[in-house]
């Protein structure tokens, strides 16, 4: 529980702040946003833990120390303000004033950019999933897919992840007939590729190096936060309640990440990483679908939690089967 002490303290402070901002309704909405953020980003915690395990302790500490303010204030407050500021041509402080005095106008402007936001975030998350999906794994979960002859052939194709993503981007362009959406999608693909290139130059092996891993984790967190920030306006237009709810949720995600790293959870539960990446793949598809179709954030969160739960339970079952087999052999 020591990993969650700080998160619970911040939760209490956040709920008190929610009360002063919006009374009991503010407390209730902030609590709902905490749950929304955790459900949407639980798979993020699993992937974060996998990458953090490969990073040096000093960079792990920097991710926790600097990553938290970036996640709370940067991604949940400053980033949406910056988007609206760029779209309208207003200054950042003027945009903040609009967000406080005319929250519905602020929300309307932010929503006009949601298609490009979803295209960028969806593309980046799709690349995260494809990178994992086409890798060779000692442990296979969905064996009829991961262990198939077709998968073996496709995995051997050079740059198969990039080819697949470009095909999706072209299809998205034909579907939407929106150059801005296609451009945002390609920027997401390019950023993921550039981060992999940076890691290649800064690292002598296949793990994420310090600075490249830190940037990668922050961009990954940003991609997960897009859905929650825009979806939060369905509950409230108060940007400070949104920041509190999503920020506290992000804090719990960080605590879960630390717990996974310290307890080697991903090694103990062999399919957890697979479940998280499949959830990320589905989240990427949903974000791209949301460019043309409304899909509730609760659907996204439920699918993500559901997949990880199945992977978790399957891992426990496999562990028990292995123990039973060992006991039988010893007799």
The residue ranges of every structural domain in the chain are 2-289+296-326
Q: Over the stretch 44-77, which tens digit does the pLDDT of each residue have?
A: 787 778 777 777 777 777 777 777 777 767 777 7
Say if residues 241 and 33 touch (Cβ distance below 8 Å): yes
- Asked if residue 40 has pLDDT above 80, the reply is no
The Cα-based distances of 199 to 133, 192, 290 in angstroms read: 19, 11, 31
Of the listed ranges 36-40, 97-101, 166-170, the least confidently predicted one is 36-40
Q: Over the stretch 118-171, which tens digit does the pLDDT of each residue have?
A: 898 889 889 888 888 887 777 778 777 777 787 777 777 778 889 999 999 999
**Rounded-to-integer distance, Cα 32 and Cα 71, Å:** 18
- pLDDT at res. 172: 92
N-terminal to C-terminal alpha carbon distance within the chain: 39
Cα angle value 221/62/13 (rounded, 5°): 70
Tokens of 182: 């296609």
**Rounded-to-integer distance, Cα 74 and Cα 235, Å:** 21
Say if residues 261 and 52 touch (Cβ distance below 8 Å): yes
> Which residues, at least 6 apart from 130, have a Cβ–Cβ distance to it below 8 Å?
160, 161, 164, 165, 281
């Amino acid at each position: 529980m020591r990993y969650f002490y700080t998160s619970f303290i911040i939760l209490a402070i956040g709920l008190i702040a929610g009360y002063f901002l919006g009374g009991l309704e503010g407390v209730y909405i902030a609590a709902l946003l905490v749950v929304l953020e955790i459900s949407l980003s639980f798979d993020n915690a699993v992937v974060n833990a996998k990458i953090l395990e490969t990073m040096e302790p000093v960079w792990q500490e920097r991710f926790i120390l600097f990553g938290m303010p970036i996640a709370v204030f940067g991604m949940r407050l400053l980033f949406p303000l910056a988007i609206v500021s760029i779209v309208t041509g207003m200054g950042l402080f003027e945009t903040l004033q609009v967000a406080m005095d005319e929250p519905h106008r602020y929300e309307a402007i932010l929503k006009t950019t949601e298609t490009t936001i979803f295209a960028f975030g969806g593309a980046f998350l799709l690349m995260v999933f494809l990178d994992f999906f086409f890798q060779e794994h000692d442990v296979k979960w969905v064996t009829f897919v991961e262990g198939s002859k077709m998968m073996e052939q496709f995995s051997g194709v050079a740059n198969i992840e990039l080819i697949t993503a470009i095909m999706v981007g072209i299809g998205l362009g034909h579907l939407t007939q929106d150059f801005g959406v296609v451009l945002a999608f390609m920027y997401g693909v390019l950023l993921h590729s550039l981060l992999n290139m940076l890691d290649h130059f800064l690292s002598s092996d296949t793990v994420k190096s310090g600075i490249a891993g830190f940037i990668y984790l922050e961009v990954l967190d940003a991609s997960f936060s897009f859905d929650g920030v825009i979806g939060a306006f369905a509950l409230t237009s108060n940007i400070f309640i949104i920041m509190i709810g999503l920020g506290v949720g992000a804090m719990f995600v960080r605590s879960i990440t630390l717990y996974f790293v310290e307890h080697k959870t991903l090694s103990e539960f062999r399919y957890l990483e697979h479940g998280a990446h499949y959830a990320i793949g589905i989240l990427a598809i949903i974000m791209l679908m949301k460019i043309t179709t409304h899909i509730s954030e609760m659907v996204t969160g439920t699918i993500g939690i559901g997949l990880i739960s199945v992977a978790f339970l399957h891992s426990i079952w496999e562990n028990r089967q292995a123990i039973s087999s060992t006991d039988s052999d010893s007799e």
